[in-house]
Chains A and B, each alone.
Chain A
Amino acid sequence: MKFVVAAVFTLVLYFVITGKLNKTIAAMVGGLALLAIRTFPEPYDGLKESIDINTLLFLIGMMIFVRVMETSGIFEYIAIKTVKISGTSMPKLFFALTFVVGFVSAFIDNVTTVLIFIPVTFAISDILNVDSVPFVLGEIFASNIGGTMTPIGDPPNILITSAARIPFSVFAKYMVPINVVILFAVDFALLIIFKSEFGKSFSKEFLEGLDETKVVKNRRRFIISALFMLFIIALFLLQKQLKLESSIIGLIAGFFGLLLFEPHEITPFLEKVEWEVIFFFLGLFVITGAMEHVGIMKDIANLLVRISSGSMLVLTSVIVWASGIISGFVDNIPFAATMIPVIKGLPVISPQFTNITPLWYALSLGVCLGGNLTPVGASANVVGLTLLKKYKEREISFGNFLKYGLVAVIISLAISNLYALFLLKIM
């Protein structure tokens, strides 16, 4: 069974990487086939076990929400405001946008941030008539880096902090500064790579010609939309106190917004949800769930321990790099979920590994930042690139993304590695 699951995973990965088949269909057929041949004793129990329904419903809700908000012109408004504030220099604009994205996605899910900011970016690049690709890449990277900052920024962090019982403020204290440094470094690298694009500048008159009030077609609706958006953000910030699952907030945002603004056009908005992404996740969840079920994930984790051969220094570095590279290809949530029990059990296995606190940070940095490696490394990448394809008809191939991703990930993981070793000293 192990062999079959691994073969299905490899096959699906092959199609995803080469793009020879629609990746959603490949993932769904792979996942369903694994269910049909009874990888799990009870198919629907397997489904229950492997699908992160919270993530899926959250995505559906937020996709509808963003679509409904879009029609009010609020995103164009933010876009023009950002452009006006950042002045006439392209690099400045780039830094402004990526940092806004980074800090927003520290609190809101990365995918939502990307869903909110990429339309803004398209609006800006359309107005300024520049290539949107560097911006999209920068924002995807920024959203993943920003998501690493807090326990609620990225799903693996939720898992890790709840398993290790690290409070919000402590986690943020250690993670915010290092990720600001990483974001700076990655932004700088992108700036060098896309030097020619960023060399352009635009005239001042151009800026003055922009009028943010023009994009607001219906003032009343704009104000209500803004208030509704603030309400949803407040819900996210108070999520812990209200004890609401993020998917519930997402669904409320989407469906309530739909009812509030578009009661006569429900079906078109349901159709606008990126079902392609949802079904891709569905298939992927089943496949990675099956890998977990037959013990492939455990083998990988055990291997990591063996490689480090008793040294805490080596183990920390191995965790940063291995989880970074693996979660660049595989969904980082199941990987983080498998690594957590392994790390927890380390003090029992050998006496050298008693202080495991730094390892949690190493794991979080690895799995979250590694997501930047490939187009499928993190949900934000998939969604961001889908948007790029849908609205700009630009497709970034797997290999092409990998080129940029490799630079970003090597920089981030190198900095993370040093930082994790530093944490090892002070903790």
Chain B
Amino acid sequence: MKIITLFLYIIAYLYIIFEPHISSVTTFLFGITSVLVTSQFNFSNLSTIIDFNTIFILIGMMIIISVLKERGVFTEISKIIIKLSNGNMLRAVFLINISIFFLSGFLDNVTTILIFIPILFYIADTMQVDSKPLLINAVLFSNLGGMTTAIGDPPNIIIYSVSHQSFVSFLLHLMPIGILVLVSQLLLLKRSLRANSVNLVFETNDVTEDFKNKRWKQYFLFFLVIACLMIFHEKLGIELGIITMLGGMLILFFENRDVQSIVLDIDWDTLVLIMGLYFLNFSLEQLRLFEPIVTILSRISNPPVLILIVLWSAIFLSGFFSSLPVTLLYLSVIQKLVSMGRPTSLYWALVLGVGIGGNLTPVASMCNIVGNNLLKNLKNEKLSFIEFTKNMLKPVIISGIISSVVLYIFSLVYN
């Protein structure tokens, strides 16, 4: 039984790595099969396998963002940023990267990339600087920003839902690290831009031309209200999934739209993949296949060492196997370790590990793939796998080191 399940698991992973375009369906099928093989399948325990909270948050956010995007809220925001920069290139690039970082905390990373990369390319064209470092930084900040809140990224949503840490505690633990990395990275970027270009002023007129769309402010306000509700959801006593789903439905209600019209913008692929992974993990757990890993890790009595192991292994594994599967795999182990009395900082190590590792290779996260595609489509340039990884290695290692130090300080403080 164990062998069959493990075999199914390995095949599912091979599909994820080599056939990513159908991996959602294959993972789902292998997941169901593994559950059927390992246990008498019973639908009353489906909700223990699949986490409704995660699914609800994902669907709700996708609906809200899709309406906001359609209403031009994000284009307006980017116009304001350009205006604020006053034609100073350094300021513009900084502002854009900072907004990518903070918006990614609440939006999905691909969306932020799609909003801002065209602007960055425009600036690079007019200033005649290389657009590749700008792209790499944008992708980096989008991934890192997504890492800093409970809902910024699918892996975070999953970890949030399982770990029972509050939204605020996510912010408190992850935001400082994110900001440290942001600052250090921006300083590096500043130096390289200074070195490469002479002229630092560009024309902003043709970007900020039409300022017609007035209603976007209402939608933005709605978004802010939902974000506030999310932050204070524990005080209100409402689950996050219900808030986001309700938000999504309410925005459709105000728009007088039906669900079917928004369906195209929901990322079913990701949802199906997550459900499949839930199934696979459930059957691995049923067969106690995690047990050996848990026993080995539980022998490590020094918490900081354990935390660092989780952090760095997650960074490199998620760099190559994409972050979602790695997250679910680690989560089952960490849940057990925490229930055995290990520190909850392990959850933060996992969040940071998969968040940072998601930058490592061009295929590590959706946002990297989309960024590379934009480079190819808009600029007709290409970043090879090795080139991308080489450029990312430095920021990844820097962020890893910063996270290690901060996590170490956290563990000292708790002790």
Binding site for B on A (CB under 8 A): 21-22, 24-25, 28-29, 32-33, 35-36, 38, 43-44, 47-48, 53-54, 243-245, 247-248, 251-252, 255-256, 258-259, 263-264, 266-267, 270-271, 274-276, 279
Please judge, given known A-B contacts A43-B239, A252-B29, whether A53 and B245 are in contact too, CB under 8 Å. no
Q: Which residues of B contact A248 (CB under 8 A)?
A: 32, 36, 41
Check B187 for interface membership: any CB of A closer than 8 A.
no
CB pair A32–B239 under 8 Å, yes or no, is no
Q: A38-B237, A44-B47, A259-B22 are in contact. Are A276 and B246 (CB under 8 A)?
A: no
Contacting residues, chain B, for A54 (C-beta < 8 A):
43
Q: Check B264 against A43 for contact (C-beta < 8 Å).
A: no
Q: Is the CB of B268 within 8 A of A267?
A: yes
Query: B260 — which chain A residues lie within 8 A by C-beta?
Result: 274-276
With the chains together, A309 CA to B41 CA distance in Å?
A: 44
Which residues of B in the span 140-183 have a Cβ within 8 Å of any Cβ on A? none
Chain A's nearest CB lies how many Å from the CB of B238?
5
| Partner pick for A25 among B26, B252, B272, CB 8 A cutoff | B252
**One of B24, B32, B245, B272 near A252 (C-beta < 8 A):** B32
User: Is B379 among interface residues, defined by CB-CB distance under 8 A?
Assistant: no
Asked if residues B25 and A266 are in contact (CB atoms below 8 Å), the reply is yes
Chain B residue nearest in CB terms to A29: B249
Question: Ordered nearest first, which 7 A-B pairs have the shortest CB separation?
Answer: A270-B268, A48-B47, A32-B246, A22-B258, A276-B260, A28-B249, A54-B43
Whether A28 contacts B32 by the Cβ 8 Å rule is no
Nearest B residue to A47 by beta-carbon distance?
Answer: B52
Q: In whole Å, how far is A333's beta carbon from the nearest beta carbon of chain B?
A: 13
Contacts of A276 in B (CB 8 A): 258-260
Task: Report whether A35 and B269 are in contact in the complex, using a CB–CB cutoff of 8 Å.
Answer: no
Question: Interface size on B (CB < 8 Å)?
Answer: 39
- 16 A–B contacts from the bound complex (CB under 8 Å): A22-B256, A24-B258, A25-B252, A36-B243, A47-B47, A48-B47, A48-B52, A53-B43, A245-B43, A252-B29, A258-B25, A259-B22, A270-B268, A276-B258, A276-B259, A276-B260
Is B200 interfacial (CB-CB < 8 Å)? Answer: no
In the complex, chain B residues whose CB is within 8 Å of the CB of A275: 259-260, 263, 266
> A residues within 8 A CB of B252?
22, 25
**When the two chains form their complex, are residues A247 and B253 in contact, meaning their CB atoms are under 8 A apart?**
no
Contact B246 A29 (CB under 8 A): yes
Contacts A32-B249, A38-B237, A266-B22; is A25 near B47 (CB within 8 Å)?
no
Q: Given the complex, which residues of A lie within 8 Å of B239, measured CB to CB?
A: 35, 43-44
CA A255 to CA B23, docked complex, whole Å: 12
| Residue pair A266, B269 in contact (C-beta under 8 Å) | yes
- Complex CA–CA separation, A25 to B246 (angstroms): 10
A93 to B43, CA, bound (A): 40
Whole-angstrom distance between the alpha carbons of A211 and B114 in the complex? 50
- A264 to B22 alpha-carbon distance, docked (Å): 7
Contact with A along B255-277 (1 / 0, CB 8 A): 01111100110101100100000
* Residue of chain A at shortest CB distance from B22: A263
Q: Which residues of B sit under 8 angstroms from A271, Cβ to Cβ?
A: 263-264, 268
Q: Within the complex, what minimum Cβ distance (angstroms) separates A31 from chain B? A: 9
**Chain B residue contacts of A21, Cβ below 8 A:** 253
> Could you mark each residue 9-50 of chain B with 1 if its beta carbon is under 8 Å from any beta carbon of chain A, else 0?
000000000000110111011001000100011010011000
Q: Are the CB atoms of B263 and A259 closer together than 8 Å? A: no
Contacts of A243 in B (CB 8 A): 40
Of the candidates B36, B53, B259, the one having the most CB atoms from chain A within 10 angstroms of its own CB is B259
Decide if A44 touches B52 in the complex (CB within 8 Å): yes
Residues of B within 8 A of A251 (CB): 28, 32
* Cβ-defined contact, B21 with A22, below 8 A: no
Contacts of B338 in A (CB 8 A): none
Choice from A44, A53, A258 contacting B46 with Cβ under 8 Å: A53
Instruction: Choose among B40, B245, B246, B259 the residue that contacts A24 (Cβ–Cβ < 8 A).
Output: B259
A260 nearest CB across to chain B (Å): 10
Cβ of B242 within 8 Å of any chain A Cβ, yes or no, is: yes
A259 to B32, CA, bound (A): 14
User: How near does chain B come to A354, taking the closest CB pair, in angstroms?
Assistant: 32
Q: Which residue of B lies closest to A280 (CB)?
A: B259
A337 to chain B, nearest CB (A): 13
For B224, the chain A residues whose CB sits under 8 A away are none
Kindly identify which residue among A22, A28, A267 contacts B245, using a CB–CB cutoff of 8 Å: A28
Q: How far is the CA of A251 from the CA of B259 in the complex (A)?
A: 22
Q: In the complex, A35 Cα to B52 Cα: how many Å?
A: 13
A45 to chain B minimum Cβ distance, whole angstroms, is 9
Other CB < 8 Å A-B pairs besides A38-B237, A256-B29, A259-B22, 18 of them? A24-B259, A28-B245, A32-B245, A32-B246, A35-B239, A36-B243, A43-B238, A44-B241, A47-B47, A244-B41, A252-B32, A255-B25, A255-B28, A263-B22, A264-B22, A274-B260, A276-B258, A279-B259
Bound CA–CA A178/B338 (angstroms): 61
Point out the residues of chain A lying under 8 angstroms from B29, CB to CB.
252, 255-256, 259
How far, in whole Å, are A300 and B120 apart by their CA atoms in the complex? Answer: 64
B12 to nearest A CB, angstroms? 13
Q: Is B250 an interface residue (CB 8 A)?
A: yes
Q: Which residues in A have their C-beta under 8 angstroms from that of B52?
A: 44, 47-48
How far in angstroms is the closest Cβ of chain A from B115? 22
Query: Measured between alpha carbons, how far is A29 from B249 in the docked complex, in Å?
Result: 6
Alpha-carbon separation in the docked complex, A276 to B24 (Å): 22
Residues of B within 8 A of A245 (CB): 41, 43
The complex places the Cα of A244 from the Cα of B221 at a distance, in Å, of 48
The listed residue (B26, B36, B46, B238) touching A259 by CB distance below 8 A is B26
Which residues in A have their C-beta under 8 angstroms from that of B250? Answer: 29
Q: Please give, as numbers and ranges, the residues of chain A lying within 8 Å of B266 by CB-CB distance.
A: 275
Query: Per-residue 0/1 for B42-67: is the Cβ within 8 Å of any A Cβ (1 yes, 0 no)?
Result: 01001100001100000000000000
